[in-house]
Amino acid sequence: MLSKNLLVTAFLLFISVIASTQPISKKEMKKLVDENMKSAILQYKHMQSLLPSDKLPRSYDSSKNQLITSGSDWWCSGFYPGTLWYLYEYSKEQSVKTEALRSTSLLEKEKLNTSTHDLGFMMGCSYGNANRLAPKPEYKEVLLTSAKSLSTRFNAKTGCIKSWDSKQGDFLVIIDNMMNLELLFWATQVSGDSSYYKIAVTHANTTIKNHFRTDNSSYHVLNYNAENGEVKEKRTAQGAANESAWARGQAWGLYGFTATYRETKNPVYLEQAKKIADFILTNANLPADGIPYWDFNAPGIPNALRDASAAAIIASGLLELSKYVESSWSNNYLNLAQTILKKLSSNDYRAKQGTNGGFILKHCVGHLPAKSEVDVPLTYADYYFIEALLRLKNWYLK
């Protein structure tokens, strides 16, 4: 139980955040959505002109005016085609669909990739959206095979899907892995094979049990004993410290447990999503504009770097979570999501036309401790930004 003083402090923090995230008019948000989508389509056409035909975008080096690319095996490979599918959903523009189809096809071979937990990102964002918007039997086959490949990384002793391969005896699981469960839920719905569903809920249950602190923030990395399932270590890789709250990790948890509730309707997952949302909303280090520092406990706050990618994921997650809770909480989540989207749409975060290598957003932080992808555009920031705008349009602006 929280002490009375802690409860009072949390309440005051919550009130201060809500006061800074007042409702934004539908008219203003409709205009914002349309402006962003039209700009994004032009940006991605610019990116397409820079992109080698056998590569996928990853980031952009402004000092060299160089688009940073990857092969299909990079964990972010599905975000570019996924964003294109969202832009096509909005615009119905045939040229956007053509590039979505082309870039999606580059990932087909990854359906057999059993060396990564990121198949949900890779295949769900690309082939998942393709199958949703332009279904074909071959897309279904790719997704089912991908789910089968992902399921090979599950270990019954730990109750988890392994995230990263490491030295013998280690079984590393990161909070990001919650984002890959949607692929497994989909596979059960389509195939009738309940094993995928069981793996997904077991992983989610184990994550609730072991990954979270008493304040509802999450560790980034857990190391399990693969033989008996005991937790050997709780730490971070991309956060500021082992006991800090890496911002994108909190975003993955929020989004992942919200999606898990959608697929299961189990209130345990809704409650966990709400706890994570409350940690974010009541955090003393959350700026008034809703764009978090790269870590909620980052050294140097308020001069620490912000992370637009974490902000975009939080906005999209909050928009969905707002559909499942009582109206007072729904309004709070919706208001913060709109505040974030408004700020990301400003010149502070949205790139000028024809710049930024075609990426939509600036100022993301990939892996600061490793000095990798620091204060640069990232494909997943664009993906969840566009997804959040579409969710806002489809769910709240009709």
- Residues annotated as catalytic (active site), given as ranges: 118, 176
391, 76 contact by CB (below 8 A)? no
Q: Looking only at Cα atoms, what is the longest distance across the chain?
A: 60
* CB-CB contact of 176 with 121 (8 Å): no
Helix (H), strand (E), coil (C) string for 294-312: CECCCCCCCCCCECHHHHH
The values of phi and psi at residue 146, to 5°, are: -65, -45
The side-by-side arrangement of strands in the sheet containing 170-174 is 170-174, 221-225, 231-235
CA distance 341 to 261: 24
Closest alpha carbon to 294 in 222, 367, 202: 367
DSSP structure string for 137-189: HHHHHHHHHHHHHHHTTEETTTTEE--B--STTEEEEEGGGGGGHHHHHHHHH
Of 276, 240, 243, 237, residue with least CA distance to 259? 276
Extract the tokens encoding 247: 């911002």
- Tell me the HSE value of 219 on the side-chain side, using a 13 A CA sphere: 21
d(CA 57, CA 103): 10
Q: Which residues, other chains included, contact 78 with Cβ-Cβ below 8 Å and sequence gap of 6+?
A: 107, 121, 122, 123, 124, 125, 126, 127
The 3-state DSSP class for residue 213 equals: coil
